[in-house]
Amino acid sequence: MPRSFLTELQTSFEEALARELPEEISNGVTEEAIRQVIETSCGKIVESILNDLKQQAPAMLRSERRKQAGFENRTFERWQPAFDLYELILGIVAQVGAEHDATLRPAAAAADNWTFESISHLHARGLLVAREIYALLRGGFPDGALARWRTLHELTVTAMFLHRQDSQIAFRYLASSRFQALRAARQFNDFATRARMQPFSEDELQRMEAECNDLAEQLGGRLKRDYDWAAPALNRALVTFDQIEREVGMDHWRPRYRWACQHNHGGHRPLENLLGLSEAVDQFLLVGASNSGFVDPLHMSAISLTQLFSIFLLHAEKLDRIVMIDLVQSLVDELGETALSVEQETLKAARARKGSETDE
């Protein structure tokens, strides 16, 4: 059995330390002698260990990559029926969405249709996030995939809200990124020295400030907070995302949204709450990939992406668009059933195999 990384590191340290010990005390090493050598020769010891590790790294990395490739192949084999449906949905949404955008964009641009512009951008971002979710699942990270679903849900809810409002609210939404960029630049400069990064120049800040001033004149005031763009539509001075969620009737997703938030923050999360450990018999600290717990991230992501896709296509209510939405929705329904079936059947088969091996 190959030695562990920690064993290799310990061996490299001991060899490097021995090379630095004075010859007259190398045969009778004391803790005090070792401490003095480490204090005076730490840089040399670290450099020596790094050189040893770099020589061993290619073989170690090849081994780890073979293990990961094998895991990903087994994961794909287990979940392929559900993966195939998810990929099919991604392909349809990407191709039909691109054609829809190309068809409507010239007229929308000529008419300064900010609603189309904002929802088009949201649709593209949603497709990107949906593909990131798929990459995380292929790699074996269902909890990370669920955390990315949170973003996809936010994009979908925002598109739903903008779809119901006039073009001026969409213009405010697009303009809000400029105000956010200025706030971020100022905060960046506050910490640039401590972070050892190049601050924005005064000229750059002035240009950003001038752009925001021009926008503020058009909007009737500056957008000081993230959701100020939605304030006129809700007749509120302070707007939060959950208020937008309620406005479009998506507040029933709030428990799932809070569930997905757990993986983004530093609060304690019990082991049994991890999707990656949902099929584990024994509890342990999960620090790597798992092929358990894929049903919810797959199905929830497909649902949210289809909702966003529907909002985008319904910007031009044509019969072929409605048919396409129904088609994708049927695939989403099939995906949910297929993923659940795959999980149950493969887990049952795996435990049956393990039981037969134990009996032998």
DSSP string, 268-316: ---GGG-GGGTT-SS-----S--S---HHHHHHHHHHHHHHHHHHHTTS
**And the tokens for 238?**
């302070």
pLDDT attached to residue 334: 98
CB 120 within 8 A of CB 100: no
Q: Computed from CA positions of residues 162, 165, 170, 172, in that sequence, does the dihedral angle turn out positive or negative?
A: negative
Report residue 177 as tokens.
């990124």
What DSSP designation does 278 have? T
Burial 333-343 (b: 16+ CB within 10 A, else e): ebbbebbeebb
Token reading at 299: 């199905």
DSSP structure class, residue 23: G
Residue 21's pLDDT is 59
pLDDT (0 to 100) of residue 347: 93
Q: What DSSP letter does each residue of 78-104 carry, written as one string?
A: HHHHHHHHHHHHHHHHHHHHHHHHHHH
Q: Within 10 A of 190 (CB to CB), how many other CB atoms are there?
A: 11
Residue 286 backbone zone (phi > 0: left; psi -120 to 50: alpha; other: beta): beta
240: buried, middle or exposed (CB in 10 Å: 19+, 13-18, 0-12)?
A: middle
pLDDT for position 188: 96
Per run of 10 residues, the mean pLDDT along the chain (length 360 residues) is 60 68 55 65 71 84 93 96 98 96 94 96 98 98 97 98 96 97 96 95 97 96 96 95 97 95 87 87 88 97 98 84 94 98 94 68
R_g of the chain, CA atoms, integer Å: 28
- Asked if residues 146 and 260 have their Cβ atoms less than 8 Å apart, the reply is yes
Nearest to 5 by CA among 72, 47, 59: 59
The per-residue b/e assignment along 58-87, b for 16 or more CB within 10 angstroms, e otherwise, is: eeeeeeeeeeeeebeeebeebbeebbebbe
Sign for the CA dihedral angle at 312, 315, 317, 318 comes to: negative
